[in-house]
Structure 1
């Protein structure tokens, strides 16, 4: 049975619909990440789970019990905010213990809990300091410690790493992942950073304009995006989404991609399904991720369908472990991800290998995936 279940949830502010028919469920110990661009409704959804925002209609249940309309203090949840929300006049130990003190937890139990979470978060040496004496990463650990001592049914994180610099964000991401693996807690985590979503989540909910675009595992979201928005939003660099035509050739269907000053590039599709066949002679959107477009020697040896085509390289971007190359196909710039030592130069024509096992196809009108 699902541990956290959100059913047919709507949230309105007056006549404005903010969340529209949200349906999500995760098992006990799951790590759900709500991701999407600014203003998509992810923080509002988190606040409805916390009880900080009332829902207009629908249902939220935790461990089989409805919490809709229940006061936040009765929901057995703990929240970690983007702004840390620490009491500046209290020490680290005081901040961690404050909630327990309010609830009348005996001092020896408070001290035991403080020691336990400070050991887990490696902040034992900071217990006597005030928040003003801490770095951003240390403050975030204290905020997490204050939530951990609650031992709630569900932890809620509202963009907890967005105030940190890039390196510290990566370090804290690893710490949160390690913490989840160790404690097996149920977490709902809001972020606009799709890399955070991919690395932390057991399930991802992608939101746009208050509507759930796709819900699934990171692999499902990344490899089988439900629509063009998800395909474009999830992944860095983003998926290449190219206007193409499907045409019947001698061996079956071909993806035809326009090239500047040359005849179209034809990529044969092996074992095309019937739905895709119905688009023969029509325009489609051909999606291929940069890592599925590479130099022939770097192509996946286990792929069943690799097609090669000559392309004019316009820009080369060395990136340490990879080299990114930009060419133009289907009237758009296309990013290929090559090996670091790939012999490639701007202005030259070179063969690129398309891993068609990883290709996806979208209807240009509905923007939904068709294959």
Structure 2
């Protein structure tokens, strides 16, 4: 049974429709990440769940109960904001326990809850400090502690790591995931960072212009993106998307991609998709992740269909554990992910292995995945 369920949700500000019929559901203890570019509606969606924004149409249910008409204080949710929103004149302990104090919770019970949360977040040594004496990561832990102490049904996180530097973001990401595994509370988390989404989520909702583009597990969204937007947005580096033409000989289908010089690249499309043969001569977009395009020695030995082709290497980008090589196919810059010591030189030809088990095809008109 779905614990948090959103059905046909719409939200308009005047004549501007910001959310356009969103359908989502997450099981109890799930970690739902709302991801998309700025202005896609993800924070607005989070605010409707919190009750900070009224909805124009649709239903939001928590644990089987509609919360459409409930005040935020009656929804049994807790929210962690991007800006921390700590009281500067209070200590860490005061910030964590302030909500309980307002609700009239006895001091002994408050102190016990503060101590429990401080131990969970490893901030016990900070309880007597003021926010001005804390680092950004410590302030974010305090903001999380203020939410945790309430023990709500649902935690809402609104881009909580966006103000932190790169290394601290990685550290805090790990802490949030560890916290979720330990507590098992339902979480809805907003971010524009697709790496955060892939790392944290049990389910991801990708939004664009107020429309839900795809909803699924991180593996589903990464390996089988529903459309060109999801393919391009999710992944770093993003999926290579190459204009191509379908060729067919009976049931055998091939992908034909132009090169700036020389004969076109021809790859057999080995997946069993019978309807593709009927689209012979049609334009498609061939999608392949950088890690599925690599040097032959690094190719997946368990892959059933791997084709090797010679490609002109334009740029080499060493990245420590990997090397990225840039070539050009179909008028597009294509990124291959190679092992660190791959013997490839910019300005020369190199043999690259295409793992066609991981390839996908899109219709350039509808932009939807067709295979």
TM range (shorter): over 0.9
Partner of 1:333: 333
Distance in 2 of aligned mates of 1:41 and 1:279: 36
Give SS of 1:105's match.
Answer: coil
Report the CA distance between 1:249 and its aligned residue: 4.4
Unpaired runs of 5+ residues, structure 1, are none
Partner of 2:153: 153
Report the CA distance between 1:164 and its aligned residue: 0.1
- Checking the alignment, whether the CA contact within 8 Å between 1:258 and 1:329 is kept in structure 2 is yes
Give SS of 1:327's match.
Answer: strand
- More displaced, 36-45 or 257-266? 257-266
Render the CA deviation track for 1:307-362: whole Å, top value 9, x for unaligned: 11110000000100000000000110000000111000001111110000000000
Unpaired runs of 5+ residues, structure 2, are none
Render the CA deviation track for 1:21-62: whole Å, top value 9, x for unaligned: 000000000000000000000000000000000000000000
Report the CA distance between 1:250 and its aligned residue: 8.2
Partner of 1:223: 223
Render the CA deviation track for 1:143-179: whole Å, top value 9, x for unaligned: 0000000000000000000000000000000000000
| Matching of residue 85 in structure 1 with residue 112 in structure 2 | no
Distance in 2 of aligned mates of 1:270 and 1:144: 49
Render the CA deviation track for 1:185-226: whole Å, top value 9, x for unaligned: 100000000000000000000000000000000000000000
Distance in 2 of aligned mates of 1:174 and 1:271: 37
TM-score (norm 1): 0.99
Aligned 1:130-279 pairs, distance under 5 A? 130-249=130-249, 252-279=252-279
Partner of 1:24: 24
| Matching of residue 351 in structure 1 with residue 351 in structure 2 | yes
Distance in 1 of aligned mates of 2:271 and 2:138: 54
TM-score (norm 2): 0.99
Distance in 2 of aligned mates of 1:231 and 1:193: 15
Distance in 1 of aligned mates of 2:74 and 2:139: 27
- Checking the alignment, whether the CA contact within 8 Å between 2:251 and 2:274 is kept in structure 1 is no
- Checking the alignment, whether the CA contact within 8 Å between 1:275 and 1:370 is kept in structure 2 is no
Distance in 2 of aligned mates of 1:315 and 1:54: 51
Structure 1 segments, 4+ long, off by >3 Å, are none
- Checking the alignment, whether the CA contact within 8 Å between 2:251 and 2:277 is kept in structure 1 is no
Distance in 1 of aligned mates of 2:275 and 2:232: 22
Distance in 2 of aligned mates of 1:353 and 1:121: 46
Partner of 1:96: 96
Render the CA deviation track for 1:107-151: whole Å, top value 9, x for unaligned: 010000000000000100000000000000000000000000000
Give SS of 1:181's match.
Answer: helix
Partner of 1:294: 294
Please provide the CA RMSD for this pair. Answer: 0.9
Distance in 2 of aligned mates of 1:348 and 1:147: 56
User: How many residue pairs were aligned?
Assistant: 371
Give SS of 1:313's match.
Answer: strand
Distance in 2 of aligned mates of 1:69 and 1:152: 18
Partner of 1:369: 369
Aligned 1:107-126 pairs, distance under 5 A? 107-126=107-126
Report the CA distance between 1:278 and its aligned residue: 2.7
Distance in 2 of aligned mates of 1:114 and 1:93: 7
- Checking the alignment, whether the CA contact within 8 Å between 1:284 and 1:362 is kept in structure 2 is yes
- Checking the alignment, whether the CA contact within 8 Å between 2:36 and 2:206 is kept in structure 1 is yes
Report the CA distance between 1:275 and its aligned residue: 2.8
Render the CA deviation track for 1:8-28: whole Å, top value 9, x for unaligned: 000001111000000000000
Give SS of 2:100's match.
Answer: helix
